[in-house]
Amino acid sequence: MACVMSAASASEGQDEADMLKEQIDRMQQQLLEMQQQLDELRAEREEEEEKRKEVESRLAEVEEGDADQEQVKEIAAETYDEKKATEIDVGGAVRFQYVLEDYNDLSKDNNGTFEMDTVRLNFDGTVGDVILSAEWRWYQYMNVIHHAWAGYDFSDSLQGQIGVNQVPFGVTPYNSHSFFFSSNYYLGLEDDYDFGAKLIYDEGPLNVQGAFYWNDELGSSDSYLGFDGGDFPDFLNDRYSYDIVGVREPGEGTFATPSNFAFDSNVANGRVAYTLGHGTDYSTELGFSAQYGDVKGGSADGIGSQSAFAAHLVGNYGPWNLQLQATEYEYDMDNGSGRMAVGAYDFFDTIAAEATSYTGNVAYSLPVNWGPVSNLTFYNDYSLVTDKSGGLEDTWMNVSGVAVTSGGLYTYIDLILAENQPFIGGSMDSTTEPGTNTRFNINFGYYF
């Protein structure tokens, strides 16, 4: 009996010893994990402290020297973690312009006119991990959304956007240097904004963008009110970027409200660009873009298809910038029409249903120290739209100018020579060669 009790006692003691050993092992493991976490926290704090000291050091250097606004903004941005920012930055601009047109007798008699261009507000920031960006513009003749989208960074190289965002096509963000863009803008093929979803992959020299747009920024025929409350179809031309709004019937006027409506629908875009010499002062971006989608009528029925293709080059060679692009587009309408109605800036216009365009732009950036003036950018932008359908004549435009940077004040000084070009006394819907028109334009605005 004593032997049995002794054996049982020994067994219980061994079990307790094993349990105690397991508890000790678990505690040791927990201590190791806690130590690892402490080490990681300590490393993060040391990194933050180093960043803080670096920022303070740079601020001290700025206070001792002459710093421009961009340097101060850059340093201030480093004082917080952008991924955790929850504030929305509000900015904007107020712009005016002086216009002198040789094709406008009143303009010549008055030695030109000064006029209000636009007032705009920008909202940019993050709420948690969601990126937000929007811009609203007031003109004398319309109020419009420029863009409005929400985004998310899936990784350091992949971002998604949904809402009214820029269509990825050709040279981006602008295929031009002047205030008047290139002729592609008036075809809806430069700085165009529509409603859809876009993915941007940007890793080293490679940039790939893919997007799908359900419709234009106004919602096409499904919308009953414009941005400023106008009724359908009067509001169709109240927009910042050009879009098709109709199919021109034979004999229909160039600037008339279209009688046969047509809108973008289910448009897919792809853009691939690769930069040779990426990260250097001498780089060359080569790219290709494609666009394909439907065209629907006022009753939402499909009435045709659309396509566009472009090859481009962007060269940055020290202070020089070079932009080259060749583009082909086509609206293949069921009724065979060779002319399309477009809308923007509170008026309707007409373009060829099919054409080829070529753009060539060059600019030179010159830093200066002339009082408040810090930079001059000299440029010459040339556009040609040719091989038009509908028996229409070529359009060409040449813009020579200089952009002046002076703190928050930015000024474009442009001399424009053009033929059959919107806003330069003509339209792309011309069957004749009316001669060259000239416009001298100064657009100056304060950006905040």
283-342 pLDDT tens trace? 999 999 999 999 999 887 899 999 999 999 999 999 999 999 999 999 999 999 999 999
Q: Per the domain annotation, does 405 fall within a domain?
A: yes
* Number of residues written out for the chain: 448
Give strand ranges (E) for 103-178.
113-127, 130-138, 143-153, 158-166
Is residue 19 helix, strand or coil?
helix
Lowest-confidence range among 84-88, 142-146, 189-193? Answer: 84-88
Instruction: Show Cβ contacts of residue 126 under 8 Å, excluding neighbours closer than 6 positions.
Output: 82, 83, 85, 86, 132
Tell me the average pLDDT across 228-249: 84
Rounded to an integer, the average pLDDT of 397-414 is: 98
Q: What is the pLDDT of residue 2?
A: 41
Q: Which of 79, 107, 124 is the last residue of a domain?
A: 79
Same domain, 11 and 71: yes
The set of residues, in sequence order, having a beta carbon less than 8 Å from that of 45 and lying 6+ positions away, is none
Provide, rounded to the nearest whole percent, the portion of the chain with pLDDT above 90: 75
| DSSP, res 224 | S
Among 174-183, 211-220, 228-237, 259-268, which stretch is predicted with the lowest mean pLDDT?
228-237
Q: Is residue 84 assigned to a domain?
A: no
Is residue 410 domain-resident? yes
Comparing CA positions, the residue from 95, 264, 295 lying closest to residue 193 is 264
Query: What are the start-end ranges of the H helices in 65-166?
Result: 69-77, 105-109
Is 344 a residue whose pLDDT tops 80?
yes
* pLDDT at position 68 over 90: no
Segment 161-168 mean pLDDT = 99
Q: How far apart are CA 35 and CA 42, in angstroms?
A: 10
As for how many domains the chain has, the answer is: 2
Higher pLDDT, 59 or 47: 47
Q: pLDDT tens, 249-287?
A: 999 999 999 999 999 999 999 999 999 999 999 999 999
95 and 61, same domain (yes or no)? no
What 3-state DSSP class applies to 423? Answer: coil
User: Which of 58, 79, 100 is the last residue in one of the domains?
Assistant: 79
Nearest to 127 by CA among 78, 155, 88: 88
One domain, residues 315 and 271:
yes
Provide the pLDDT for residue 301: 85
Answer yes or no: do 231 and 380 share one domain: yes
The pLDDT of 44-59, averaged and rounded, is: 67
Please check whether residues 45 and 73 belong to one and the same domain: yes
Q: Is residue 365 part of a domain?
A: yes
Give the span between the Cα atoms of 162 and 186, in whole angstroms: 24
The whole-angstrom separation of Cα 192 and Cα 327 is: 15
Question: Residue 274 maps to which CATH number?
Answer: 2.40.160.10
Residue whose C-alpha is closest to residue 84's, from 134, 40, 55, 126:
126
Which band of pLDDT confidence, cut at 50, 70 and 90, is reported for residue 27? low
Tell me the mean pLDDT in the region 13-30.
63
In a domain, 129, yes or no: yes
Residues 414 and 307 grouped into a single domain: yes
C-alpha triplet 39, 41, 46: angle, nearest 5°: 95
The whole-number pLDDT of residue 433 equals 86
Provide the pLDDT confidence category of residue 82 given band limits of 50, 70 and 90: very low
Which residue range forms the structural domain that includes residue 5? Answer: 1-79
What is the chain's mean pLDDT, rounded? 88
Tell me what pLDDT residue 83 has: 46
Phi-psi region at 235: left, alpha or beta (left = phi > 0; alpha = psi -120 to 50): alpha
* Per-residue model confidence (pLDDT) at position 69: 57
Beta-bridged to residue 330, according to DSSP, are 307, 354
Q: 71 and 134: one domain?
A: no
Which residue is associated with the tokens 């930015």? 410
Claim to verify: residue 1 and residue 132 sit in the same structural domain = no
Checking if the pLDDT of 44 tops 70, the result is no
Above 80 in pLDDT, residue 43? no
410 and 278 co-located in one domain: yes
pLDDT digits (tens, 9 = 90+) for 102-157: 999 999 999 999 999 999 999 999 999 999 999 999 999 999 999 999 999 999 99
- Dihedral of CA 122/126/127/130: which sign? positive
**136 in a structural domain:** yes
Asked if pLDDT for residue 381 goes beyond 80, the answer is yes
For residue 217, is pLDDT > 80? yes
More confident position, 234 or 69: 234
Among 25, 59, 79, the domain boundary falls at 79
Query: Which range, of 42-46, 132-136, 406-410, 419-423, averages the lowest pLDDT?
Result: 42-46
Whether residue 322 is found in the same domain as residue 417? yes
My answer on whether 57 and 110 are in the same domain is no
Q: Do residues 40 and 97 both lie within one domain?
A: no
pLDDT at 228: 60
At 222 the pLDDT is 61
> Is there a domain that residue 137 lies in?
yes
